[in-house]
Structure 1
Amino acid sequence: MRALLVVNPNATSTTGAARDVIAAALGNQLDLRVVHTDHRGHAAELARSAAGDGVALVVVHGGDGTVNEVVNGLLGEAAPGTVPAEDTPAIAVVPGGSANVFARSLGLSPDPLEATQQLLEAIAAHSVRKVGLGGADERWFLFNAGLGWDADVVHAVEQRRSKGKEATPGRYFRAAVRHFLRSARHPARLTVEVPGHAPVTGVHMAFLSGSDPWTYFGDREVHTNPTTTPDAGLGLFGVTSLGPLTIGRVVPQMLGRDSPPRARRLLRMDDVAEVRVHCAEPTGLQLDGEYLGLRSEVHFYRVPLALGVLVPPALNRR
């Protein structure tokens, strides 16, 4: 099988020694070409070229942002009802980032060498799982998207990383607290529209998830819509109050998993096919932990069975 291994050498948890071991192990099973990314958007360029060159599998060793780039490069622009071409390469993920939300949502080990062993099992068994993807206007996302507070947090951490700082859980936590306090003083004003439901106005932040957990703080899972899976519709989560009673009730529920978060000023829906969000003023958007800038309106939607992902047979729930 012809395969491309896309490596982000700047990802948080990659090392040169581990990358060599991973490449050697995969090279024993695949006709493998290895390329290291060297600029933003490079992974998408490599994936786009691989799709046109008849490569059957693209393996990604990096963080969630690198995986997102590869998927957007393979599939091109997103649109509701998109049906990917039959010959679109499958992907596989060897985690190398700080959170690795997509890989972990599939049940893959966060340890790169253990995940490589899982991938070798998948290759031997030809075990491919078809998963759904989210769309946000013309861009694909794998596991989460957000307008407002979380996008501001992602942007702040990205700025720190551009100055050589690591994306640690502590840095995310400090940015989250700082931007929450800022949001409480100057909340975003969003209108959320879901077909079949009355529009909800006065929403201060909106999250869309394509899997559960929505994200992680270190090893601590964060749940907004616990029943969401890569095989179902999107989970929608938002709040219409940033007051201490609402946030004090919702945050502990998000960090637990006994039941879905519930509160009077909480907007939460499961298995949603599409959502439109209108912003009273331009608001930050993030997809899979990548900040995309300010938007005044975003159309979110789900495309089922959009992507083939190699997973070991034990994790291939069909």
Structure 2
Amino acid sequence: MRAVLIVNPNATSTTPAGRDLLAHALESRTRLTVAHTGHRGHAIEIAQQAVEDNIDVVIAHGGDGTVNEVVNGLLGKPGRLPLGQLPAVAVVPGGSANVFARSLGIPADPVEATNLLVDLIDAHVAAGGGDWRRVGLMDCGERWGVFTAGMGVDGEIVAAVEAHRKDRQKGVSAGRYIRVAVPALLRSTRREPQLTLHLPDREPISGVHFAFVSNSSPWTFANARPIYTNPDCRFETGLGVFATTSMSAWRNLWLARRMWSKRADIKGPHLIRDDDVASVKITAATPIAAQIDGDYIGERESMTFVSVPRALSVVAPPPQPTDQR
């Protein structure tokens, strides 16, 4: 088995010691090449080369941004899936949230994740190969989305967090995220709603303040605590949609409390939610901030998200009956 380990040395929790441990564990099971990213988009380039070299597995050791780049490098431009066999994707968390990996059932601790990865590779070889687990992705038009996207305050918060991280040259902890997110959220309460939601076989819904689109659950993590928007959304289903038509502080504080609960019962008179749709289009009265997989992509007037089932092979445990582990 041929493998490429892509390491983002600037990710929040990657360390030389952790990288060496991971590489040492993989070298006994695979013909391994180690590549370090040096600039934005570098993981895309490395993954593209892995496809050309007929690599079997690409391991991303970094955060969700690194994973997104790897996936986009493997699959190329959205619109259709490439023909032929592509490398499977494995993840050893090295970022701050690691939403994709943890939603797949991969431990947040890099050492535990390395041990699980080795066990999965050993089991795959012992079984004589065959298919890895397959998961769906989001076709976001301009790129593939792995686990989440959004327009409105979601995009503004991501932009503010990225600016904060660039200025301070620090990773993003849950505390720092909250300190940046709260002012952005408060600013949004003073604005008129800008968005219209277009769902299949329904009339357009106007007066929307913000909209999240999910490919899995939880939506994100605050340290070890999962936060849910669409509890029944999974990699094996369609997309989850979560949008509000009110920025009332009381209504949304009540909603936030439910999102943090262990058995999330997400509902409210101002909430538009569906955990399994084939596609969703969001339009804006004026260009508005947008994000894909926690990466700010600028302002957009319109975005369409399409569920693409079984788009990616992943080295991960089989899906559980519920994502609320």
Structure 2 length as normaliser, TM-score?
Answer: 0.94
Overall identity of the aligned pairs, in %? 48
Contact 2:11 / 2:171 at 8 angstroms: preserved in 1? no
Q: Distance in 2 between matches of 1:136 and 1:87?
A: 23
Counterpart in 1 of 2:37? 37
Residue of structure 2 in register with 1:85 after alignment: 83
Paired residue for 1:235? 240
Q: 1:34 and 1:193, CA in 2 relative to 1: closer, same or farther beyond 3 A?
A: same
- What is the DSSP-based 3-state SS (H/G/I as helix, E as strand, rest coil) of the residue aligned with 2:207? strand
Whether 1:308 aligns to 2:310 is: no
Question: How far does the alpha carbon of each residue in 1:96-124 deviate from its partner, in whole angstroms, 9 at most, with x for none?
Answer: 00000001001111011110111111111
Structure 2 residue matching 1:235: 3-state secondary structure:
strand
SS at match of 2:154: helix
Give the gaps of 5 or more residues in structure 1: none
- Aligned pairs for 1:142-221 (under 5 A) are 142-163=146-167, 164-221=169-226
Q: 2:133 aligns with which of 108, 129, 136?
A: 129
C-alpha displacement at 1:14, in angstroms? 1.1
Correspondence for 2:128: none
1:282 paired with 2:275, answer no
Per-residue Cα deviation, 1:187-232 (whole angstroms, up to 9, x for no partner): 4410000111111001000000111100012222110000011000
Shift of residue 165, structure 1, vs aligned partner: 2.2
Which residue matches 2:27? Answer: 27
Q: 1:267 aligns with which of 272, 297, 301?
A: 272
Aligned partner letter, 1:207: F
The size of the alignment, in residue pairs, is 314
Q: Deviations over 1:5-64 (max 9, x none)?
A: 000001111111111111111111110000110100000111011111211111000000
| Unpaired runs of at least 5, structure 2 | 125-130
Q: After TM superposition, what 4+ stretches of structure 1 lie above 6 angstroms from structure 2?
A: none
1:262-313 per-residue CA deviation (whole Å, 9 max, x = no partner) reads 111111112100001110111111111111111000011100000000124x
Distance in 1 (alpha carbons) for counterparts of 2:306 and 2:192: 25
The aligned residue for residue 2 of structure 2 is 2
Amino acid at match of 2:295: E
Deviation at 1:147, TM superposition (A): 0.6
Contact 2:76–2:82 (Cα < 8 Å) also in 1: no
Q: 1 CA distance for matches of 2:115 and 2:158?
A: 31
Q: For residue 306 of structure 1, what is the amino acid of its counterpart?
A: A
Q: Is the 8 A contact 1:210 1:230 kept in 2?
A: yes
In the superposition, the TM-score normalised over structure 1's length comes to: 0.96
